[in-house]
Amino acid sequence: MRETIATYFQTLQDQICQALETADGQGRFQEDNWKHHSGGGGRTRILQRGNIIEKGGVNFSQVQGQTSEALMRQMNLTEQADYFATGVSIVMHPVSPMVPIIHMNVRYFEMSNGSSWFGGGIDLTPHYVVAEDAQWFHQQLKNTCDKHNLDYYPKFKKWADDYFFIPHRQETRGVGGIFFDYQKPESEADKLKLFDFVKAVGETFAPTYTHLMLKNQSIAYGEAEKQWQLVRRGRYVEFNLAWDRGTKFGLETGGRTESILMSLPPLAGWVYDYQAVSESREAQTLSLLKKGIEWA
């Protein structure tokens, strides 16, 4: 079944890239095919200097090898075995600070000892939090989850709040979304159900983000908003390099560095001891970067 899953992820990559190019209206994805040193490889697709997207990546990978000691520690594994991992990973950094950053990942992991699981999720990182957009975004995710299991959205929403959190800043990366990992099937029928859910999550991405792209791309902004965008991008970089497990997994398994770090923005900024002006839009956004907000 793992080949079926990997083939689907390639098709998902194609569909998402086409939808993003159509919405952007100018940018086109550049593709790099690469091979993994221990087996498999991937297709990295990058769109740069688009009309709406300044830099975005849609990656497909299908790799295999033997778990290293470092990887075993990261994944809490007690025995060494061969692994197979495949998935699609996406990060979009827009030109306008009025369009949010978005991330999605769907993945499947299989061990030679017979263990397997799915993971994934979608989360939104607005430069300026707009309640209407955050609520709409979360409702799309809830709609997808509810079609498969009514427990999924509250469970995976909390997981996203906890995961996409920057401990050294004591703030969330954005307004969250859903996140799930180690969803282990108990039977072949259960595996098919989990795969159907993962497919639904992947297919939620394009219509959700293209809506937000087109809705917000024409909102006026100035230099102050661009400077704030750099600060928010800096926070995004801090999370991805210090805390993100996907980044660590890629580096621990000797993955392709350019593909792993495609999630980073083309430009970011760090202002020493940044303090937002009281009651400003920036201060309001910072006040909403916390866990437990019920958006949907």
- Provide the annotated active-site residues: 103
Euclidean distance between the first and the last CA atom of the chain, given in angstroms as a whole number: 35
Task: Indicate the burial class of 168 (C-beta count within 10 angstroms; 0-12, 13-18, 19 or more).
Answer: exposed
Reading the block at residue 75, the tokens are 């994944």
What values do phi and psi take at 181, rounded to 5?
-150, 165
Residues 6+ apart with CB under 8 A from 192: none
Q: Which residue has the tokens 């990546």?
A: 57
Distance CA 57, CA 32 (A): 11
Cα separations in angstroms, 207 against 19, 52, 214, 251, 255: 8, 15, 11, 31, 30
Classified as helix, coil or strand, 266 is coil
Task: Indicate the burial class of 287 (C-beta count within 10 angstroms; 0-12, 13-18, 19 or more).
Answer: exposed
Are the C-beta atoms of residues 14 and 6 closer than 8 Å to each other? no
Check the CA dihedral 134-290-235-16 and report its sign. negative
Among candidates 222, 240, 227, 239, which has minimal Cα distance to 268? 227
Distance CA 49, CA 94 (A): 9
Reading the block at residue 188, the tokens are 């072949």
Reading the block at residue 160, the tokens are 């996203």
**What distance lies between CA 281 and its chain's CA centroid?**
25
